[in-house]
Amino acid sequence: MPSETGQGKNASEAFRVLVVDDSPSIRSRVVQKLETIGLHITEAGSGEEALALTLEHTFDLVVSDIEMDAITGVQLCRVFRGDPGMADIAFILLTAASETKTRFWGRNAGADAYLAKEDMDEKLLPAIEEIMAGRKPRLSMRPEVTGTPLERVSAVLDHHLFDVVVQSEVRRLMDYVHDRHEFSEKVLELAGEVVGCPYLVLQLLGPGGPTYTIRARGPWPEDTPTAGLAALGIPEKSIGATHTTVDSDPKYGTGPHVIGGRSYSCNIGVRDETLGTLQVFGGASVCTASDLRCLELIADALGILVKSLFLVEETQLLALTDGLTGLYNRRHASKRLEEEIARSRRNNTGLCVAMCDVDHFKAINDEYGHAAGDQVLQHIAKSLTEYVRRNDIVSRWGGEEFLVIFSEIKLAAARIVAERLRGRLATSAQGEEGPEHISVSIGLAMLRPGITADALIEQADQALYRAKARGRNRVEVAGEERRSRASIRALQPPAEAKHKQAGPK
């Protein structure tokens, strides 16, 4: 039978402590220590008895042995931590075991303190004073908890088993950290299995971001996707970095229901570094507490995986980009050009390349130094990236040369863009350490039937040399020189043309 003791004038207002140990002598020793500081004490000889007492009494602190038959101190602590009605009750575990595994298990059970019994005389009361500092006794009324001890243990074990399985499934996604898009899809696929909200959004930052991946199971305006993005708070400018999977489910409603609804967001991070967010939207309904708990569980487990994804992306970027300008390097640009040529021919769309070269770059290095020359190259790289379209490709071809691949464009439009870019660079001011102004010469070439990537680059190169020869700071188009000569020959009288053909080579 449980026993209760109390010391001091205000014992009824003192903290209520439940002492649990299957050894009467140890239990008596603990009680004697606690009585010296005026606590209201209840004793239990087993974990089952302790749980039964929580149906009748409210406690502020539990001091429990770790090793007991049937329900152990660890299991008892887990039950308290997993029950919302008792989660705030302080918990101290005591053990006489010297096994490393038992001590590890005790330290990681969720208790506020873990003490060896041989240290109890010295450390128990200071630990209690530290834990209970600033707390007030809980209301003296029967707690709103139900169920037999076995049922409550089973519920907590099931609760924790679910957590372990979800976190284990998240860790399995490590197989996909080589690809941001596939990884994001797998994350939302898993989240969709345990979170019952119609709209899930994963935002990832890092080298390849920010990107947004959406899984919409409620109504979605597929004819005007920007309306859906706006409802979920995603900037319209991010539409190119957004991937949406619409997997309609009638249970989330049909027709013109609310797309966004109330939202809940969990940060994904490692230590103090924010890597992204996992967000849900309730649509026409409200996400449950269980949904939000699962959301937090997944977001918490994702941190190390997303960090790994970013490290993979950084490694890939180092292999693909130029260290000074951050643009694609020549090797990767050549690969992308081959891909763009194949796509252009497959879709019957235009493609042009522009070879840009800084005028008098050697003189800039000689007069202002190589640091100033590097700043000029970085300025041009930044201007090219900002000015061209999102689907165009900018790379550092080598030295002071830059290659721009204009996809899905006609020659006339590419020439206009090249001229505007040349004019912009010629009028933009430089830093104090370098020349006041710079200029570039540009050679432009258009993809024609039968031309290879190497031949296209060669044509742009020849046009660039012609721009240099004609005074620099200009755009020349491959093929125009031949057409100009053909026009002159067409206007010549036959005799003169014949005389020229017979003249010296």
Query: What pLDDT is recorded for position 78?
Result: 83
Cβ neighbourhood burial of 354 (10 Å; 0-12, 13-18, 19+)? buried
pTM of model > 0.75: no
Would you say residue 484 has pLDDT above 60? no
Between residues 4 and 295, the one the model is more confident about: 295
- Domains 168-320 and 330-488 belong to one CATH topology: no
Q: Looking at 60-74, 124-138, 308-322, 490-504, which range is the least confident one? A: 490-504
How many C-alpha atoms does 138 have within 13 Å on its Cβ side? 17
For the chain, give the percent of residues with pLDDT over 70.
Answer: 85
Would you say residue 502 has pLDDT above 60? no
DSSP of 140-186: SS--S--S-HHHHHHHHHHHHHHHHHHHHHHHHGGGGTT-HHHHHHH
Mean pLDDT across the chain: 85
Q: How far apart are the first and last CA of the chain?
A: 121
CA–CA dist 3, 17 (Å, integer): 12
Between residues 432 and 25, the one the model is more confident about: 25
Sheet strands side by side (includes 199-204): 242-246, 211-216, 199-204, 273-281, 263-270
Query: What pLDDT is recorded for position 496?
Result: 44
pLDDT digits (tens, 9 = 90+) for 455-466: 999 999 999 999
Would you say residue 375 has pLDDT above 70? yes
Architecture of the CATH domain 168-320: 2-Layer Sandwich (3.30)
Query: What pLDDT is recorded for position 464?
Result: 95
> In the structure, what pLDDT confidence band is assigned to residue 167 with cuts at 50, 70 and 90?
confident
Query: What pLDDT is recorded for position 141?
Result: 55
Query: What pLDDT is recorded for position 6?
Result: 46
pLDDT digits (tens, 9 = 90+) for 339-368: 999 999 999 999 999 999 999 999 999 998
pLDDT digits (tens, 9 = 90+) for 234-286: 887 788 789 999 988 888 887 766 788 889 999 999 988 999 999 999 988 88
pLDDT digits (tens, 9 = 90+) for 283-339: 888 888 889 989 999 999 999 999 999 999 988 888 888 889 989 999 999 999 999
CATH of 330-488, one of 3.40.50.150, 3.40.50.300, 3.30.70.270, 3.40.50.920: 3.30.70.270
Give the Å distances, CA to CA, from 456 to 271, 418, 465: 50, 17, 14
CB atoms within 10 A of CB 297: 19
Judge contact between 406 and 356, C-beta under 8 A.
no
Would you say residue 488 has pLDDT above 60? no
Residues 6+ apart with CB under 8 A from 385: 327, 394
Architecture of the CATH domain 4-146: 3-Layer(aba) Sandwich (3.40)
Extents of the domains making up the chain: 4-146, 168-320, 330-488
3-state helix, strand, coil in the chain (%, to 5): 50, 20, 35
pLDDT digits (tens, 9 = 90+) for 90-129: 999 988 765 666 667 766 778 888 888 888 888 999 999 9
Would you say residue 10 has pLDDT above 90? no
Query: What pLDDT is recorded for position 303?
Result: 95
